[in-house]
Amino acid sequence: MTDQTWQYLAMALYMIAMLGIGWYAFRKTSDLDDYMLAGRGLKPGVAALSAGASDMSGWLLLGLPGAIYLSGLIEVWIAIGLTIGAWLNWKFVAPRLRSYTEVSNNSITVPSFLENRLKDRSRLLRIVSGVIILVFFTFYVSSGMVAGGVFFESSFNSDYTLGMVIVAAVTISYTLFGGFMGATFTDVAQGVLMLLALIVVPIIGFVQVGGFAGMTESISAVDPSMLNFVAGGSVLAILSAAAWGLGYFGQPHIIVRFMALRTPQDAKAGRRIGIGWMVLTVLGAVSTALVGIAYFQQNPQLTLTDPEAVFLSLSQAFFHPFVAGIVLAAVLAAIMSTISSQLVVCSSALVEDLYNMVSKKTLSAKQGVILGRLGVLVVAIVAIILASGRNESILALVAFAWAGFGASFGPAVLLSLFWRKLTMPGALAGMIVGAATVFAWGNSPLSSTMYEIVPGFFANLAVAAVVSRLTWKPNPEIEAEFDAAVAGVSERKEPVTVS
């Protein structure tokens, strides 16, 4: 068989496995709560790997290595900020959000939690939240579609559009039928595959380029400043890159994993597994970029036309075509795991947070699942149309969507969990200001000096605090739920299990 045939075989086996997992989840899904939240029965390891895989996406294997390949270690501040943010998210948000969402009318989405937590009878908070999710996730899902197209184009000299459609079709299929459970179980398999690939590729690469000494010598020959963590970057630029960590508190596709844990106490084990996985994969991605710089410097006859494809190119250079195909499947795993998780959240926003607001009919369990699947399909089609133009880099699309969620939902989630006096007008005003700031700042020259999440996040926080102070009134129901949620974090409960 030809090299490409071996790789196609490996990719086909991977995709069949993902569809098989989706079919298994389909058999286990009976109602909307199963479809959106897996019945709150995720074990900590499953939740941790699922959160990590759905978080990192093609950014981890394409965007981050590409940025470091171009600019050096100055770009690693994004990864440092993200790791700190993820740890804080697991430590403080995960246990209390799991407890509070159950206490507050068993909320299964971020918008429904905010509505129930703040006793919003107008439904405005839920509607605005649902719209924000749909807008920013359309960009986020689109970044995954772009990554899929780039993957096939770089790996197989395939047509960009064809590759994008293949990735979209397989991901939509297992998400459409398996829902949250399908996305989560495939995330676990994909997270393990990503971890193995990001350990194996840089280790083989170190050997190929002559170890650490050979690597640093070759990188210095290209540009000595690439090994400097601060070279070419101002204090403002470094803080801006590290500020990516602020985004974790508001990412619906990540924090929904916290809501699906068996108990609040499971967050501790989840944190240890999740952060361990994240540290290893981020180090692997950074090492892959550094190895790539050295490898292509030592082999000038080889050219790398797209820096975001450095992981793909090294995999094909180092391994037998079938093994390379398995490693390349890790890139697809990163892309598809994020797309699937985001599609489920978009589906929940359409059905649970928007359709139920305007429809007077009560949906049956079967109707809820059908509408959820239609929601997945609608959002995916819009994202495919946006991605077909391929106007932005993967990192740029992810950065904009990440900032949008972090600045819109981050302060609202933190304040709702840790401040009794947050009010509906305060949360609503803050979310609107945060989202508007990201749009305005991100599409202006100011975005080159400071990442838009910073002004958006703190503008939201300030507005929410001020408006809440002006509109707060005592509410015994809110007080009782707040106390119950805090108590639930320390109480030991028998875990729910997914059969």
Which residue in the block uniquely carries the two structure tokens 């450095």?
310
> Would you call 444 exposed, middle or buried from its count of C-beta atoms within 10 A (0-12, 13-18, 19+)?
exposed
C-alpha closest to that of 350 among 70, 1, 23, 32: 32
Hey, what are 50's tokens?
């699922």
Count CB-CB contacts under 10 A for residue 321: 18
- In CATH, the number for domain 3-394 is 1.20.1730.10
Check residue 232 and give its pLDDT. Answer: 72
pTM over 0.75: yes
3-state secondary structure of 425: helix
Per-residue pLDDT of the chain (499 residues; tens, 9 = 90+): 677 788 888 888 877 887 777 777 666 655 555 555 555 667 888 888 877 877 776 678 878 898 899 988 988 998 999 999 999 999 999 999 999 999 998 887 888 899 999 999 888 898 898 888 888 887 778 878 887 887 788 777 778 888 888 888 877 776 666 566 666 777 777 788 888 888 999 999 999 999 999 999 999 999 999 998 887 778 888 888 899 999 999 998 888 889 888 899 999 999 999 999 999 999 999 999 999 999 999 998 888 878 888 888 898 888 888 888 887 777 776 677 677 777 777 777 776 666 666 665 665 656 666 776 777 777 778 888 877 766 666 667 778 889 999 999 999 999 999 999 999 999 999 999 999 999 999 889 888 889 999 999 999 999 999 999 999 999 999 999 999 999 999 876 555 444 3
CA dist., res. 119 & res. 444, Å (int): 37
CA dist., res. 206 & res. 203, Å (int): 5
Angle between helical axes of 76-88 and 64-71 (0-180°, round to 10):
140
Which residue in the block uniquely carries the two structure tokens 């809820």?
368
Hey, what are 263's tokens?
């108990």
CA dist., res. 295 & res. 310, Å (int): 10
Hey, what are 330's tokens?
């890790």
Residue pair 266/47 in contact (Cβ under 8 Å)? The answer is: yes
Residue pair 456/403 in contact (Cβ under 8 Å)? The answer is: yes
